[in-house]
Amino acid sequence: MSDTPPPSTRSATRLAAIRPLLLVSVAALIVRIASAVVVAQPGYTDAYYYSAVASRLAHGDGLTADFIWNFLEAPNFAPLPVASHRFWVPLATTLQAGGITLLGGFLGEFRAAQAAVIAVAAFLPAATYAAARALEVSRSYALAAAAAVGLGGVFAPSWVAADSFAPAALIGSLFFLAFARAARGSLGAGALAGLLVGLLYLARAEGAFFGAALLALAIRPATRNAGLAGCAVALAIGGSWFARDVGLGADDLLARSTLLVSYQDFFRLAPPTAAQFLGALPDVAAAKAGAVVTNAVTALVVFFVLLGPLALVASWRLRERPDVRAWSSLFLLVFLAQSLLFTLHSTRGSYFHSLAAFFPFGVAVAAAGAERALAMRNAIVGRIWVTGAVALALALSAGAMVQWDATFNAAAGVRAAALDAIPAGPFMAIDAAAWRSLSGRPVIVTPAEPAFSVVRNSVVCQIALRYGARTLVLEAAHFVGYDEIYNGNVRPSWLGPPTVRDTIKIFPIYADGGCPSEIIR
């Protein structure tokens, strides 16, 4: 007689083994759906942008925008609609467009787009569990890691946001799993790792830095073929998108990314120059030093408030493992690149976005560190740590949701309440993507020109004429060149008296007869 158990027994055994993970994943999905009650609109510029363009893509308009959030997307004042994603990358938009196509008629466009994001986030606990088990973590600690990532911590709102957080987190986790196999010489795993680098680049531009790990494989004779296969696949994907950008003539993209002296320069009509950058070196150096500190604090909040020093300690103890070494090296590389190259973008959310790709695997590394640190202690101590880590993740998640609601839902409510005071037709505002989503109308960004150009040279008036804008909307948060107008000190004669809604001032534009330079005081 054979000792091999029958298929039904083997299936039951496998189900019993994965049942706890299924329960954690289902619980996390319920948390995600509950989080969506709070995250009921995109919230901030990036997400509004992705969401608005996703709607057009789903309806057959391609990657185009009927608004201008930054004039780098409208070179030479190109007419609407303009080609989108000259600055951002397309994966988040494409994912949401798929959700709108499938579910838009049933859920509405935003909820359908969000459903696609939630579907991706549903796999994060399983990816974290797989990473922890690959690091030889026991089932109980791996489940705790899966639960912590499923809850999200400070990423709790991000896992359901109309943004790239959830895709980047899942792709990043899968990359480190594939990289471990590629580092053993697997050609297929190398190609898969390259595919994941390409996809990560389409989710977040700094995903290109993950290609450095593939280059490291290509240098070593034992893993050269795997590394070269990965590089080839990653370059094919990333190169295709880069070629699209070059074809559109995104000449000033690098300057607007790396040569900013002030963040408002990003929104000026002309890109910053190397001469301006070098002429303000003391300010530039101070900004970079400040970014290093700010981003270090961000990393501490994301990882170490939840995990303590365990991820750092474990990454050192497990440094012989190629996947952990890749995680640590890329974490440092992205931190330095964001802080020292993309300085002013990094401190305004870009670096926080970057951390999503590292979060699930980092939690798995921390679980490995915790289990090793507590191995010699009583089992009760281990259970207390596991319970405490999950409880802390729950507390951080709840706090993040409360903060998101207070920050973004409140702002959206103020804007929505002002819509009735904005006349029909296109208008100008600082956050064109947000106002486009809220109003359903073409919106043109107010360029961050100096006060002389805004008030006396009628540059803004000429732009309004070009795009048929009938209204200038100024919020409490506006570019400094509009201070005198917002504060009521002066008013160009092409602007009428404002209508005020809360902190929003709505100025009619009278430019049918041209753009006079007279000032009304």
User: Residue 502 has what DSSP assignment?
Assistant: T
Closest CA relative to residue 80, chosen from 484, 499, 468: 468
**pLDDT, mean of each 10-residue run, the chain (521 residues):** 58 71 94 95 95 96 96 93 95 97 94 97 97 92 93 95 97 97 95 97 96 96 95 96 87 88 93 92 95 93 66 72 93 96 94 96 89 69 75 89 94 94 95 96 95 83 93 95 92 91 94 70 52
Question: Model confidence over 434-482: pLDDT tens digits?
Answer: 999 999 999 999 999 998 888 877 789 999 999 999 999 999 999 999 9
444-478 CB burial, b ≥16 within 10 A, e <16 = bbbbbbeeebbbeebbbbebbbebebbbbbbbeeb
Reading the block at residue 191, the tokens are 């190609």
DSSP 83-124: E--SSS-SHHHHHHHHHHHHHHHHH-HHHHHHHHHHHHHTTH
Name residue 263's beta-bridge partners.
Answer: none
**pLDDT recorded at residue 1:** 47
**pLDDT recorded at residue 229:** 96
* Cis-peptide into 81, omega within 30 deg: yes
- Cα angle 99, 103, 109; round to 5: 75
Closest CA relative to residue 99, chosen from 46, 48, 54: 54
**pLDDT recorded at residue 391:** 86
Question: Model confidence over 374-391: pLDDT tens digits?
Answer: 666 666 766 777 787 788
Do residues 208 and 238 touch, judged by C-beta distance below 8 A?
A: yes
Considering the entire predicted model, what is its pTM?
A: 0.93
* CA quadruple 131, 161, 208, 202: dihedral sign: positive
Question: Model confidence over 268-293: pLDDT tens digits?
Answer: 999 999 999 999 999 999 999 999 99
Angle of helix 187-203 relative to helix 224-248, nearest 10 degrees? 30
Name residue 471's beta-bridge partners.
Answer: 508
In the chain, where the domains are located: 420-520
